[in-house]
Chains A and B, each alone.
Chain A
Amino acid sequence: MAALGIGGLLLLILFVVFVVTLVLAIRHRLAVRIAMRNVRRGKVRTALLVAGLLIGTTIISGSLIVGDTVGSLITHYSYLGAGYVDESITGTAPSGGPLYFSYSVYNETVNRTAGYDRISGLAPMIVDLGSVYDRTTGVPETNLNLIGVNGNQSTQLGPFVAQNGSSLEGPTTGAFLDQQTASAINASVGDTLVVYGHQALTLTVQAIVEPNVRGAFITAGLAPGDVWVSLAAAQYLENESGDINYIAITNVGSQAQGAASSGAVGSYLNSTLAGLLSSQGLVVGTPLETSLTQASNSGSDLATIFLVLGLFSIIAGALLIVGIFVMLAEERKGEMGMLRAIGLNRRDLVYTYYFEGVVYAAGSALAGIFVGVAAGYFLVYLAGFILRNDGLPANAIVQSFTVTGQSLIVAYVAGFLLTVATVVVASRRASRLNIVRAIRDIPEPPPALRVYTWLAVLGGVFAAIGALVYAATYHGTSNGSEPILGGALVILGAGLVAARFLKNRPVFTASGLALVVWTGTERLHTLLFGSSHTGGIFVLFTEGIFLVGGALMIVLFNADLLARGLRGLLGARGTASPVLRVGLDYPTRQPTRTAVSLTIFSLVVFTMVATAGYGSTLQGSLASEVASQSGGYTFFGYSQNPIPEIWNDIHSNATLAPEFTNAGTVATGTAEVYVPGYAKNPYQDSVYAPPTNQSGPSSFYDTEAFPFLSTINGTGAAATFQLVASDPNDAVVDANYDASTGSLAGSSAGGHPILTVGTTIRVTSLSGSASANVTVVGILKQSIIPGVWLNSATATALGYSVQNGYFLTVAPGISATTAAQDLKRAFFADGLVVVDIEAVLASSIGTTQGFIGLLEIFVGLGLAVGIAAMGILALRAVVERRRDIGMLRATGFTQGMVLRSFLLEYSYVTLVGIAIGASLALLVVYNSSISPVASSAGITNFVAPWLTVVEIVVVAYGLVLIAIAGPSLRAARLAPAEAVRVTE
């Protein structure tokens, strides 16, 4: 089955449906003829049906296409960034930078792999960070990839391509710049360039190279740029004579073929070079294959988010289908009754609908994938627009627009099957009509007791399954959707059982209330599931469905009370009174139809408002997020060369002195962290050790303001850091170590280790030569500077004494951008990199918000279902109610009163649906803001998106008014004499 794939499986199901339909068609030819006649007899109605039915396929195909495009985009950059480097041999130095090793390792690797036919070439390289200064233009740039490679040793990696199109083997006497770097420093070929590593070297710009698979190595053509020099020049710049830090390995064949064989080659290298690698502290990586896997996963993850959110619209679409077919059945009731009276059996009647439905499903699914492609393109275009400032070249996203055959097949078959399944359910209901009642147009009686008995049995099954699901998943769950689903099934099941013995109104009102309370009370979830349960897209879906379901049960089973209350509240006099009566009583007393419309609107508005709510809440959390992540500092910086006296250096610089109020240093490095109970010990993480001997405003321990998620014995934040400063056995860790964040990162699958305060962890230097046991006395709220914060003496003992990390605070009123530029310029030769903490957070939240905006538009597609539902219902109502309208007109209703009663009826349904959807969506977002994992997800303040809610209400209601305007006017203009005579 796995080999078949989802596309193959769906095609197989489609084939089975086709064969079954064909056999049924041969055996029930009369039903086929009636069905075909029904399809042909109303072209406008058929067009409306197909339009309503294609929504599901559109949403599925649109979601998959977005996934395809993102996958394709990342794949494109994966190929560019990895080039022909299928495997790499690298190591990490204790400082966290690249590990340099002897050139002889390269020679040894070449010798040992000489006979292996899957490798076509190996290249010795240096890949490190560097800075450049273009003396010709006077423009510097830091934090670039400095790559040393010999052209004649790396021909298997492909040629560089110069701007004039000529092929180049590699840098010799000068430097190659990629377009990013050249653009950043306004460089041209021939410019004099000072390149900085650990020491400086003056070269000329030998070429500016195109971002092909060779020239876009590592960066994929994006920022930061590459500077290519010869291996010897790189060794000089990094002061690593005779050493390299990177062996690039190219497999035989194209990039795709190379990536495909990467697993086998990697295993081969690991076994062939085992002793050599371990003795040098080196590992074999598979950059291209890893990158391609991530691309595939990213596309798939994104498609899942779109699909799950789209599920609300798909359900709304399915309900629309049910609504349409129920209305079709009502419209044809008399005719169906006659067919039954003259001998057509019940089964044939079902088949009549089935065949008709299959025709609509086939047509609408086909139309749906085309509309889905258009919708997908629209979304991709919008994504390109929204993310235009996020470092990607203009049009990069739109140019990656991809539609795979598999996506089209999956969308078509899924849309087709969804429609057919819905049609089968709807047609079974239609076929159950009583012949006499159908011919005489008498309403069906309430369900018999045996129906309630069956429902009670079904309820028992629901409750049992729900109880099992709850019991199996509730304890300490990280995915709240499972126990919530279990509990909701128990409530629903209990309601169905109780309805067998008690009246519907109290039973289903109580069930609805219970569902709303159960799914909508976050504190209850925390109490029952523990503090590590998280939300995520599946919780949004589960809560959304059951909250909306519960609210609808309350409203529908008390619709008469609601209508009476509204009439009383409005206290209408004069002509408004009969208009209110008619306008509110039609939706109240046609519960099935009203339920369909309300559900559609509630679900669609729920997703729209929830999506907007997450966006506004994230934005609203920015200020407190900045405060908790930054510790009061504006910048976090690091440099290639340590700047231990950065505060004094700033103070003595005329430009910088007024711009900064504080600057402190911190020793940094990379270590192995052993956490008790963690499945994949050791975990490699950064370590930080602020020195205690700095004075004045530059002392970290005097000026930091990092808040904590938890501290030992509830110690205050400043006191907790003082514990670290004074006790070599104490440490604090970032928020990723907290259970709430750790579970988000997937600690159960061996992601980030989690711990509680008081835990003793072991920190070991990467070389393994030194280690220390420290007790975690606090877990920070921040995770933007991730790692373990050690006492200075402990860090020094482990080998981390180089102070090349910095915390800086910009003076009030000074532009952070200006201050960062001045700072980088002043410490350019040291390779200082400055991270603007607020800008990083704002950018991250901005991107998230852009994505949320995209989702808003996507879920807004579901609004089309609601509008279509209202339009179709209103059209149908005019036909159905001609006689009623005629009678009302005869009794004195004016045209205006008819129009007002129609508008009131559909406004009532629409606005109640909007109110349910919007209020419950805000509740869900509020819940996420008070959940235990809220702060680690960047949500600290609940901010209701009132403006967006108003926009959604106005747009949704406005579109409904437009959709029902035509039918309502038609109803108002009906000639009373004609209308009273109509008999259907």
Chain B
Amino acid sequence: MSESVVEGRDVWKTYGTGETAVNALRGLNLQIRRGEILAVMGPSGCGKTTFLNCFSGLDDISKGQVLVEGTDIHAMPDDRKSEYRARRTGFVFQSYNLLPILTAEENVEMPLLIAGRGAKEARSAAREILTRMGLGERLKHRPSELSGGQQQRVSLARALVARPAIVWADEPTGNLDAEGSHEVTELLRSLNQQFQQTMVVVTHDAGVAAACDRTLRMRDGQFET
């Protein structure tokens, strides 16, 4: 069996207190293997996005432990967590979340700059990955000048440019049509094969899940067995 890169132990996430408390995650236990693509599916409100946020370190947990590459991510101070995100993770969101004031290449080079790479190196890496994703003609375009599919490809390029160990994707095809969705899924698959990155994809799309190595289903904050 491959080495576990993310391990969740009895992870709870509770919103609110007292009678209004809602348990979004209920004692999740999970191991994610290095290099696998894991799909997490489930109905709306089952806790998929909360799972992604808590396991990636974007959000705090109420109880339990999330070990990423052996380190308890929630025990880290905020700045360490930020540094960890900059160096080891990439994120893809349903609404792309590109910075509207920056061009495609500037968006993509941002993680490298944050990680402390030089401006020239970052620009070169951003251009390379965008060209490989078929956006070589769109380097200087702002997000508002790109289609949804193109924006999601830029978003993917941004997530992958720093070669992170883990890529977290929240409904990456949620805003795309069937063709765009297929395109992004294929891209995820091929990049995973090429760079052996671990990918966790939260999705409603059965087609996306089918392309993943493993699929977990969630209901009421727990994985279905």
By a beta-carbon cutoff of 8 Å, the part of chain A in contact with chain B is 442-443, 573-575, 577-578, 581-582, 585-586, 588-590, 883-884, 886-897, 975-978, 980-981, 983
Contacts and interface: CB of A to CB of B under 8 A. Distances in A.
B85 A892 contact: yes
Interface stretch (B28-36, B37-45, B99-107, B209-217): B99-107
B23 interface: no
A895 B79 contact: yes
Interface residues of B, number: 31
A891 B111 contact: yes
B12 interface: no
B82 interface: yes
B102 A443 contact: no
A894 B144 contact: no
B58 A977 contact: yes
A578 B58 contact: no
14 contacts: A573-B116, A581-B106, A581-B113, A585-B101, A887-B93, A888-B110, A891-B85, A892-B82, A892-B115, A893-B82, A893-B114, A895-B79, A976-B58, A980-B58
A983 B113 CA distance: 26
Interface in B97-137: 97-102, 106, 110-111, 113-116, 118-119
A887 B99 contact: yes
A884 B110 CA distance: 12
Contact of A888 (B79, B83, B99, B144): B99
A810 B117 CA distance: 75
Contacts of A590: 101
B78 interface: yes
Contact of B95 (A589, A883, A892): A883
Contacts of A978: 59
B4 interface: no
B179 to A, nearest CB: 20
B3 to A, nearest CB: 24
Contacts of B49: 981
A581 B114 CA distance: 11
Contacts of B223: none
B79 A884 contact: no
A581 B112 CA distance: 13
Given A578-B113, A585-B106, A889-B58, 7 more contacts: A581-B113, A884-B97, A887-B93, A888-B110, A892-B86, A894-B79, A983-B95
Chain A contact residues: helix, strand, loop or mixed: helix
Contact of B59 (A443, A582, A586, A977): A977
B163 interface: no
Contacts of A892: 82-83, 85-87, 111, 114-115
A575 B97 contact: no
Contact of A578 (B59, B95, B110): B110
A229 B115 CA distance: 95
A200 B50 CA distance: 105
Interface-centre pick from A586, A888, A894 (highest chain B CB count, 10 A): A894
A585 B102 contact: yes
A884 B99 CA distance: 6
B82 A894 contact: yes
Contacts of B111: 891-892
Top 7 A-B residue pairs of the complex, sorted by shortest distance between their CB atoms: A892-B86, A977-B59, A977-B53, A887-B97, A977-B58, A578-B113, A894-B82
B66 to A, nearest CB: 13
Contacts of B118: 573
Contacts of A975: 59
Nearest to A586: B101
B158 interface: yes
Contacts of A886: 97
Nearest to B78: A895
Given A883-B95, A977-B53, A581 B79 contact: no
A627 B102 CA distance: 62
A479 B124 CA distance: 59
B116 A890 contact: no
Contact of B93 (A573, A575, A582, A980): A980
Given A586-B101, A590-B101, A977-B53, A577 B93 contact: no
Given A586-B101, A892-B82, A895-B79, A442 B144 contact: yes
- Most B CB contacts (10 A, CB to CB) among A892, A895, A977, A980 go to A892
A578 B119 CA distance: 9
B114 A443 contact: no
A574 B116 contact: yes
Given A586-B101, A883-B97, A895-B79, A890 B58 contact: yes
Contacts of B87: 892
Interface string B62-93: 00000000000000001100110111000101
Contacts of B93: 887, 980
